[in-house]
Amino acid sequence: MPPPADVPDLCALLERYERPLVRYALSIVGDLESARDVVQETFIRFTRERRPELDENPRHLEAWLFTVCRNRALDHHRKHARIIPMPLADERVAEDPTPAASLESRDTAASLLRLLETLTPNQREVIRLKFQNDLSYKEIAEITQLSVTNVGFLLHTGLKKLRSLLQQSPGDEWAAVAAPRET
Partner 1 sequence: MILPPSDAASMNPDDPKLTAYALDELEEPDRTEVEERLRNDPAAAAEVAALREFSAQLRAELHKENMPGLTEDQRAELYAAAKEVASGLNGNPVSAAGPAPAEPELLRPSLRPWRLWFPAAIAASLALFAVIHPLLETEKRQVALGMKESAPAPASAPDPAIEKPAEEKSLAEEPAVRGEPAPGRARALRKSLVKADGAVSVDVRSFKNQAESNAPAPAPLMLAPAEKDRKEVDLLTTDLALEDRTALRRSAPVPPLAVTQYWSTQPSTIPKPALAAPVQTMQAAGHGGQNEAAAGGFVGKQAKPTTTASTLSGGRGDSSGTAVQSKAMVEREELREGKQMTTRKGGEAPVQAQKMAVAVERKAKPSEPESKVEKREKAPSGAAGYAPAGAVASAASSTRAMPVPMPAPAAPMAAAPVPAALALVPDPAASMATAPVASVPAGPTAADADTDTVLPGLKPAAEGLATGVAGQSGLALDGIKPPSDRERNWSVGRKDALQDLDKTKEHFFRWAMVPADKPSPAENPFTDVQSAASVEFTVNPNTAGYNLVRASLQAGQSPVRDGIRIEEMLNHFSYSTPPVQTHLPIAVALESASCPWAPDHRLVRIGLRGRAVSAEGRGSNVVLLSDLSEETRRNAAGGDVLGRSAGTKAADKLGESLGIADTNDAFLFGIVKEPAEVAQVAADQPAVDDSSKIEASYKVARDNYKASGNNRVVLVTDGGIVKRGLYNRFVETAAENEKAGIPLTVVCVGQASEDERLRGLAWAGGGNYAYFESDGEARKALSDRRNETLVTAAEAVRATVTFNPSVVQSYRLLGYENDADAKSGTDQYSAFGRNGTIGAGQEVTALFELVPRQPLLATTELGKRSLRSTNALGGGIVEESVERKKDEPPKLGTVAAAATKPASAPASAPAAVLFNFRLDCATPDGPAATFESSLADSDKDWKEASEDFRWSAAVASFGLILRDSTYKGDATWDLTLQIAKEAKGQDANGERQEFLDLVQKAKTLGQ
Sequence-ordered alpha helix ranges (H) in 30-117: 32-48, 52-56, 58-79, 99-102, 109-116
Segment 69 to 88, residues that bind partner 1, using CB under 8 A: 71-72, 76, 79-88
Q: According to CB under 8 A, which residues from 36 to 55 bind partner 1?
A: 36-41, 43-45, 47-51
- The crossing angle, in degrees rounded to 10, of helices 32-48 and 58-79 is 130
* Beta carbon nearer to partner 1, 14 or 122: 14
Beta-carbon contacts of 140 under 8 Å, excluding residues fewer than 6 positions away, are 126, 129, 130, 146, 151
Helix axes 109-116, 148-168, angle to 10 degrees: 130
Q: Could you tell me if 65 and 55 are in contact, meaning their C-beta atoms sit under 8 angstroms apart?
A: no
Residue from 16, 53, 60, 98 touching partner 1 (CB under 8 A): that is: 98
Contacts with partner 1 in 105-134 (CB under 8 A)?
A: 105, 107-109, 112-113, 127-128, 130-132, 134
- Other CB atoms within 10 Å distance of the CB of residue 38: 26
Q: Exactly one of 18, 60, 74, 170 binds partner 1 (CB under 8 A); which one? A: 18
Among 138, 164, 168, 175, binds partner 1 (CB under 8 A): 138
Which of 57, 145, 149, 164 contacts partner 1 by CB under 8 A?
Answer: 149
Task: Tell me how far, at minimum, the Cβ of 15 lies from partner 1, in Å.
Answer: 10
In the complex, least distance from residue 32 CB atom to partner 1, rounded to whole angstroms: 6
Selected binder of partner 1 within 58, 59, 90, 101 (CB under 8 A): 101
104: Cβ contacts below 8 Å, ≥ 6 apart = 110, 113, 114
